[in-house]
Structure 1
Amino acid sequence: MTPLAWLAIGLLVLVLLAIGLGAWRLRALSHRVGSFECGARRAGAAGAPWVAGIAHYGVGRIDWWRLWSVSIRPARTWSRYDLVIAGREPFVGDGPDTYLVRCRYHGQDFELTMSRAAYEGLASWLEAAPPGRRNVVV
């Protein structure tokens, strides 16, 4: 075989390995207890695309991972005590049981999309914080 053929085989193996790693990561994240599908974008960016992701409840925080990434670290982490739900409304386009949730964290506004069950879980989780730390507006 020529060196070019070996190079092509090596690149193919690397691509397949990256795809396999991404699929394993996605499965591991989505099958954790306390995980839910959650899209995110900056607030006020109506034309900006949504970034699909998976959020997971941690101890006193929510970690959010991009859906398609090979990173082993969350793209965002929001502390339970600093995350504020500023509002919610039905999200048109993803079905009747999807909400657009407006949030604020350290003065930065952003939006999340999630199922009704995921929103109810998030609101309950924030409301169950110790007294004086409840940050649910809606």
Structure 2
Amino acid sequence: MPAAGVWVLLAVLVAAALVVALGASRLHTLSHRVGSFPCNARAGGNPAAAFTLGIAHYAVGRIEWYRCWSLSPRAARTWLRDRLVVTGRVPLEQAGQADQYLVQCRYEGTDFELSMSAAAYSGLASWLEAAPPGRRDLVL
């Protein structure tokens, strides 16, 4: 009987190691794609709420946002370029986070906030401003 318990424990450990390996592989793949950048998100209007760690990726006409701690191959959020509006940005240097911005956004009437590096914000602003003609009001 003790041998059965050892096999069960071994199976649980192998399953846990497999889940960790899959998660690490997913995170590595997402973070090394061309057009990906670290980008944390939270709902707007509650400055005490915690950010959810994530990785954003530029796609054709949209940004796809993936949670860091997930096994899902699909993006948790997708924002189309023609519906995403940056309503403000605040440097987070006062909060001890050098080279970081709090970017306030609106998508289809829903406010949310993103935390990203200054370089990532420059890329986001450029991407939004490079929209087709008639869509130059996307960045504050």
Q: TM-score range by the shorter chain?
A: over 0.9
Tell me which of 117, 120, 133 is aligned to 1:118.
Answer: 120
Q: Which amino acid aligns with 2:128?
A: L
Residue 94 of structure 1: CA displacement? Answer: 5.4
More helix by share: 2
Question: What does residue range 51-62 of structure 1 map to in structure 2 within 5 Å?
Answer: 51-62=52-63
Alignment match, 2:95: 93
Q: Indicate the SS of the match to 1:137.
A: coil
Q: Give the counterpart letter for 1:113 in structure 2.
A: S
Instruction: Work out the number of aligned pairs and report it.
Output: 138
CA RMSD of aligned residues (A): 1.2
Which segments of 5 or more consecutive residues in structure 1 lack a partner in the other structure? none
After TM superposition, give the deviation of residue 48 of structure 1 in Å: 1.1
Equivalent positions of 1:1-138 (< 5 A) are: 2-91=3-92, 92-93=94-95, 95-138=97-140
- Distance in 2, matches of 1:93 and 1:47, equals 13
Task: Identify unmatched segments of 5+ residues in structure 2.
Answer: none
Could you say if the C-alpha distance between residues 135 and 6 of structure 1 is closer, same or farther in structure 2, counting changes exceeding 3 Å? farther
Moved more, 32-41 or 1-10: 1-10
Q: Tell me how far apart the structure 2 counterparts of residues 123 and 10 of structure 1 sit (CA, whole Å).
A: 49
1:53-93, Cα deviation, whole Å (9 max, x unpaired): 00000000000000111110010000011000000010243
- Report how far residue 3 of structure 1 moved: 1.8
Shift of 1:134: 2.9
Whether the 8 Å contact between 2:129 and 2:139 is mirrored in structure 1 is no
> TM-score of the superposition, structure 2-length normalised?
0.94
For residues 81-129 of structure 1, give each alpha carbon's deviation from its aligned partner in whole angstroms, at most 9, with x where no partner exists.
Answer: 1000000010243522100000000100000000000000000000000
Partner Cα distance (1:50, 1:84) in 2:
20
Q: Distance in 1 between matches of 2:111 and 2:38?
A: 20
Partner deviation per Cα, 1:35-58 (whole Å, 9 max, x = no partner) = 000000000122211101000000
